Structure 1
Amino acid sequence: YSGGLGMLSGDHLKSASDLGMPLVGVGLLYKKGYVQQVLNRDNWQTERYPENDWYNMPVQIVKDHAGKPLRVEVDLAGERVQVGVWKVPVGRVSLYLLDTNLPENSPTARVITEQLYGGDRENRIRQEIVLGIGGARALEAMGLKPTVFHVNEGHSAFLLFERIRHLMRSRGLSYPEAREIVWASSAFTTHTPVMAGNEYFDFELVRKYLENYSKELGLTFPEFLDLGKEEHSSMGFCMTVVAMKLCAFLNGVSMLHRDVSRDMWHKLWPNLPRYEVPIEGITNGVHTCSWISHEHHQLYSKSLANGGNGVPDSCDWSRMGEISDKDMWDTHMVRKRKLVNLVRDRLKRQHMRLGADRTVLAEIATVLNPEYLTIGFARRFATYKRATLFMRDLERLLQLVTDEQLPVQFVFAGKAHQADVHGKEFIKQVARLSLDKRFKNRIIFVEDYNMNVARYMVQGVDVWMNNPIRPLEASGTSGMKAVINGVMNLSVLDGWWPEGYSPDVGWAIGGTEAYNSDEERDYVEAESIYNHIKKMVAPLYYDRGEDGLPHGWIKMMKACVQKLAPHFNTNRMVREYHERFYSHAHRSSRKFQENSRVAEIARWRKKLDENWPRVKAVTDQFKPEMEVHAGAKLPVSAVVWLGDLKPEDVDVQLHIGTAGGEGLFKEGKSVSMAQEARMGDAYVYKGEVPCYKSGRHDFSVRVLGRHPDAVNALMPLYIKWSEE
């Protein structure tokens, strides 16, 4: 278990299989897999790294035409490293994992794929070269020729260079021509909302491993470095920047993350308003059948079946109300009791390892009461996720868990990165509180969080709590896994939750306001947690009818599933990627199979490069009317100089909206202007400003590059605003 991105990638592949999409995944085969968590007597996280036994796992060695294990080669600072390939069948699609732990490699090369997050910065760049360059070569060696490549995070962005190099060699293209194809047929998804989450390499480390490689692309080393720089003065080579410069299709993983990413990377498009920065939002999802409990699957299949491909596609979610309250509650309680049994079993094993006596082991048999309101929190213990926020006021917390009428219990699980001392301290605090006699049996920490524990928790708790620092959670998916099992979210409005939240499906911690300090934020949001549980969550849970069922709670469970399950799944997500990215990139890839077509667009871009400094637009003096009625259109004309460019090479637009304090628009939209006349070495363009609402209207004329084969007109260098 290696965090949400690993789970998301697996769910992405499973949905591709469900939908019959011809997709392959490429990753690294880690000899030690991910860390196992062991808490010592002081409740401090220690780590174990058991080695994977590939010969007893669902992986198989990929062989070449001669029946020998397939090998591809990558050059790592002059060392020729052999890379093996293993195949993992995922339904109708395949995952290929790369392995350098081979007898023919040196000891330093063999450890490249030993461990996730293992080693120093040098091993990190070696891993990413193997993944990107080695991965692209492995696909070619297996005869797989994808038309579209999807880079997830910047770690695999070196594959974009390898695609360019391969196209130059195999088709005799120039670097600009090959880059044109790669750009138009590549997608990039950023999964982090903080700069520190992006990969940066020191220039000298890049020089050591990639200076010779850059020559194969026909680039000088400074030209190569520029592809990884946010600005000319940048002091690090950023893999995210490489991906954003070499991929036409860019996205964040929620609508909020889209906006955050546009702010973060606005410097790559400094002449665009923030809302036009070409980073889209495609919200993550979860593979429903992987995370729904067997009992819920049976219930939905029996009650909501509507033909199709299984949950979620075969379910008519609008019929959730037809499920009886008793069936819904009985199904939930089955899963809740199973969670309680799992927790007791794991606690017993943990304490036996630590030498606990019979008295302690007997007490563990009574840990958690399945009748009590149970709140779950399970995820990486990164500090921004604030696992200890609920402990901020221990007296308030004690009142909640010891309330005889409305008792509450909490189940926690999660791992910290092995180098994250602060995250480990959070684990220690929660685990110690679970041993405090005042909170005994009401707060539990489950050791060694993994996929199995995750399933039991999202299927068995009553409420899923999530309280990251907004907006540091790019998406989050654990709450989506809870939703499909009828578990409501109590969450900060971060990641996916602003899109999912409404008062009838869950609860929002705090709001979207800005705070004056971290202290104020933590106080306000901790109080929000206590108040929600005491005043809304617990009373609703314990409000029972004559039949003993919490009908109001069950109504909310059904609404939660009905409204959220149909959207927050990877079948929807993969369809969205296909409709918005893959299909367009595929068409571009097919279109550019003709070398002449590639050469033509490369010539056009070269012409833009040479002439853009000479492009200028001047808006004719505009005389505002004293009074303009909504719906009226005001005529605007502009004189545009294009150098040696032709009108068909550009799109002259009127951008209409509301200007902000920095001179850029806060909001707006564009309409193309029409060329009306030639005036010496300039062109006259005319258009109309539609006054579509009351209030102030701002507008400006701008010139963009335009070509029928260009995927995205919003290129960083080719936007020129009018001179007022």
Structure 2
Amino acid sequence: MNQKNGSTVAYFSMEIALDPKIPTYSGGLGILAGDTIRSAADLRVPMVAVTLLHRKGYFAQAIDSDGWQHEAEMPWEVEKHCEELPACVEIYVDGRPVFVKAWRYMVSGATGDSIAVLLLDTDLPENSSWDRTLTDHLYGGDSDYRLCQEVVLGIGGVRILRALGFDNLARFHMNEGHAALLGLELLDESARFAGRSSFNGEDVQLVQQKCVFTTHTPVPAGHDRFPFDQVRRILGRDDILENHQVFCCAGELNMTYLALNLSHYVNGVAKKHGEVSRKMLVPKDSEHHYSIDHITNGVHLGTWAARPIATLFDRYVPGWREDNASLRGALAIPAAEAWKAHQAAKQRLVDEITVRAMASFDVNTFTIGFARRATAYKRSGLLLHDSERLREIARKAGPIQVVFAGKAHPDDEQGKQLIRQIVERKETMLPEVKIVFLENYDWDLGRVLTAGVDVWLNTPQPPMEASGTSGMKAALNGVPSLSSLDGWWIEGCVEDTTGWAIGNLDSTLSDDSDRDSHDASSMYQTLENSVIPKYYEQRKEWTRIMLHAISLNASYFNTQRMVQQYVLKAYYA
């Protein structure tokens, strides 16, 4: 496993989507992590990944007749997918030893190389009954559970790597702040190597040169913070709390700032998100000076291209899997064949809706897709902001079908209300607008949705979207986006060519209700005057936009380009 040890990058992420049958992810962050590893394997980038096993997954979602979400565990057969490794390490949590072992899952690339993913597991007989559950649930439990998980990931992850012979890693990449405690382990290692009992400024500089940090959200809840009393109890040490250069701030351990303080390269995940992160994370009166770059996210094209679309690419853009940028040549694909391939993908979606929801959707009716985590800032219900206006548009321009999907975090009551409100509105929109909400949004459903709808809708409240990748998957399949100008879409939107913008970059609309009304009005106007007429009446124009979404967006917004930028800017710079 360590033959490329000197140049290998250790990629740490709390969640990684490895296979549709392995529920070790909740959504975009985990899907991105999996796509990153798949592209690194394609590009033969020496990498080893570290995550938690999540024996019982995130959760399976069921929606009852009243529209309420219910959650169930998602146990999976670890032995069928992973190989148990002999290494076992010891960490200390809340004053007691906890033993951690690892399972290995191999990700194979298009060029024949493979990357090992190490899934950490505390379900060992040597551990207490509670400690055995620490790697069961993704984003489950209370604050103690979360901090203990982050000790397992960061400190346990480094120790597992060392036990497996990874003693000379080139870089440690923290995909979000959940893994930031790996920096503490590296500081302790550096001090021990120098013959000291505690780390100092020299160790901090050495660790900074080894670490890379990617932040993924401007939403405060996405940045883990723990009171010092809790940190002192769980970690069993006081020394770190006295080092404000590294372990700040204001009576709590902020995992984002810990990662910032211990990294030589930091990035947001879109150009706009880089700007937002610099404003949010670098206060004017701060004694710290952080340099925050951006590398815009992407998707793994080989994973997300629907079969009819991939077959089309194989015929007209051979080698696209190995060279994603070659999809710039997609404009040469005959429009009739692009439309035929899309209709095949759309029929697959219609069939899925029939099976899952017993709803009758039509392959020739204009269909909008919206699948996002159900939380307030993503504004799941914006399309239904003025229901009568939407019905009137359908009467004038042509019938509309809408497919919704998305999970709310089990503790997000507001998110659950958003789902319920959409389900409640279904009957009131008939017959002009058909609506279906498909439960248990996951990798498999995501592939069918992003390829099978006609337009991908995304309505985050700016500037809360860090990047977003679902629209990139849609673009790959020739599905243009209708989206708020936030995240990646600021870079990807060429109006009336790759899709359409909702609203503008006006920052004066500070009131949420004003923003919602403004953006809903913009969305309705664009649907009525441009999008739907083109779909029903201007097939040549529609296929032009489909092919430009592939040529301009898919050729750039992919993890192959993204990983290459990490290699040049962060890993070996």
TM-score by length of 2: 0.91
CA distance in 1 between partners of 2:372 and 2:433 (Å) = 21
In structure 2, the residue corresponding to 1:442 is in which secondary structure?
strand
Counterpart of 1:454 (choices 433, 446, 459) is 446
The residue type paired with residue 79 of structure 2 is: Y
Task: Indicate the residue corresponding to 2:253 in structure 1.
Answer: 237
Counterpart of 2:308 (choices 295, 303, 321) is 295
1:398-477 pair list within 5 angstroms: 398-403=391-396, 406-436=398-428, 438-439=430-431, 442-477=434-469
In structure 2, the residue corresponding to 1:168 is in which secondary structure?
helix
Task: Indicate the residue corresponding to 2:71 in structure 1.
Answer: 47
Task: Indicate the residue corresponding to 1:326 in structure 2.
Answer: 336
In structure 2, the residue corresponding to 1:377 is in which secondary structure?
strand
Contact 1:36–1:47 (8 Å) recurs in 2: yes
Task: Indicate the residue corresponding to 2:560 in structure 1.
Answer: 571
Deviation at 1:267, TM superposition (A): 2.5
In structure 2, the residue corresponding to 1:436 is in which secondary structure?
helix
In structure 1, the residue corresponding to 2:570 is in which secondary structure?
helix
Distance 1:315 1:192, change over 3 A: closer
In structure 2, the residue corresponding to 1:107 is in which secondary structure?
coil
Deviation at 1:567, TM superposition (A): 0.9
Deviation at 1:42, TM superposition (A): 1.4
Deviation at 1:402, TM superposition (A): 4.1
Deviation at 1:560, TM superposition (A): 1.3
Contact 1:301–1:315 (8 Å) recurs in 2: no
Contact 1:401–1:439 (8 Å) recurs in 2: no
User: Per-residue CA shift, 1:506-549, capped at 9, x if unaligned?
Assistant: 100000102042111110101111111111000111124xxxxx
User: Per-residue CA shift, 1:485-511, capped at 9, x if unaligned?
Assistant: 000000000000111111121100000
The residue type paired with residue 75 of structure 2 is: E
TM-score by length of 1: 0.72
Deviation at 1:39, TM superposition (A): 1.1
Deviation at 1:105, TM superposition (A): 0.8
1:672-687 pair list within 5 angstroms: none
Contact 1:375–1:464 (8 Å) recurs in 2: yes
1:234-273 pair list within 5 angstroms: 234-267=250-283, 270=286
Contact 1:195–1:264 (8 Å) recurs in 2: no
Instruction: Indicate yes or no: 2:145 matched with 1:123.
Output: yes
Counterpart of 2:49 (choices 25, 38, 45) is 25
In structure 1, the residue corresponding to 2:29 is in which secondary structure?
helix
In structure 1, the residue corresponding to 2:572 is in which secondary structure?
helix
Contact 1:82–1:105 (8 Å) recurs in 2: yes
1:73-84 pair list within 5 angstroms: 73-84=90-101
Task: Indicate the residue corresponding to 1:601 in structure 2.
Answer: none
1:349-428 pair list within 5 angstroms: 364=359, 367-403=360-396, 406-428=398-420
* RMSD (CA atoms): 1.8
Relative contact order higher in (CA < 8 Å, ≥ 6 apart): 2
Deviation at 1:184, TM superposition (A): 1.1
Contact 1:14–1:90 (8 Å) recurs in 2: yes
User: Per-residue CA shift, 1:253-284, capped at 9, x if unaligned?
Assistant: 11100000000112287479xxx851001111
User: Per-residue CA shift, 1:79-101, capped at 9, x if unaligned?
Assistant: 11111100110111011010111
Instruction: Indicate yes or no: 2:530 matched with 1:527.
Output: no
Task: Indicate the residue corresponding to 1:558 in structure 2.
Answer: 547
User: Per-residue CA shift, 1:449-491, capped at 9, x if unaligned?
Assistant: 1111100000111100000000001000000000000000000
Instruction: Indicate yes or no: 2:129 matched with 1:140.
Output: no
User: Per-residue CA shift, 1:338-368, capped at 9, x if unaligned?
Assistant: 10000110113xxxxxxxxxxxxxxx3xx11
In structure 1, the residue corresponding to 2:430 is in which secondary structure?
helix
The residue type paired with residue 178 of structure 1 is: D
Task: Decide which structure has the larger Cα Rg and report it.
Answer: 1
Question: Would you say how many aligned residue pairs link Structure 1 and Structure 2?
Answer: 539
Task: Indicate the residue corresponding to 2:225 in structure 1.
Answer: 200
In structure 1, the residue corresponding to 2:41 is in which secondary structure?
helix
Instruction: Indicate yes or no: 2:488 matched with 1:496.
Output: yes
Task: Indicate the residue corresponding to 1:7 in structure 2.
Answer: 31
Deviation at 1:77, TM superposition (A): 2.0
Counterpart of 1:478 (choices 467, 470, 475) is 470
Task: Indicate the residue corresponding to 1:697 in structure 2.
Answer: none
The unaligned stretches of length 5 or more in structure 2 are 1-24, 109-113
Task: Indicate the residue corresponding to 1:633 in structure 2.
Answer: none
Contact 1:543–1:552 (8 Å) recurs in 2: no
The residue type paired with residue 420 of structure 1 is: D
CA distance in 2 between partners of 1:501 and 1:104 (Å) = 54
Task: Indicate the residue corresponding to 1:278 in structure 2.
Answer: 291
The residue type paired with residue 193 of structure 1 is: P
Task: Indicate the residue corresponding to 1:152 in structure 2.
Answer: 175
Contact 1:433–1:439 (8 Å) recurs in 2: no
Contact 1:401–1:409 (8 Å) recurs in 2: no
Deviation at 1:148, TM superposition (A): 0.6
The residue type paired with residue 36 of structure 1 is: A
In structure 2, the residue corresponding to 1:17 is in which secondary structure?
helix
In structure 1, the residue corresponding to 2:130 is in which secondary structure?
helix
Distance 1:439 1:94, change over 3 A: farther
In structure 2, the residue corresponding to 1:47 is in which secondary structure?
strand
Q: Report % sequence identity.
A: 39
Contact 1:304–1:315 (8 Å) recurs in 2: no
Distance 1:437 1:535, change over 3 A: closer
Deviation at 1:222, TM superposition (A): 3.6
Instruction: Indicate yes or no: 2:317 matched with 1:304.
Output: yes
The unaligned stretches of length 5 or more in structure 1 are 64-69, 215-219, 349-363, 545-549, 585-724
Distance 1:454 1:206, change over 3 A: same
In structure 2, the residue corresponding to 1:62 is in which secondary structure?
strand
CA distance in 2 between partners of 1:185 and 1:22 (Å) = 15
CA distance in 1 between partners of 2:32 and 2:212 (Å) = 17
The residue type paired with residue 203 of structure 2 is: A
Task: Indicate the residue corresponding to 1:228 in structure 2.
Answer: 247
Deviation at 1:196, TM superposition (A): 2.9
Distance 1:441 1:447, change over 3 A: farther
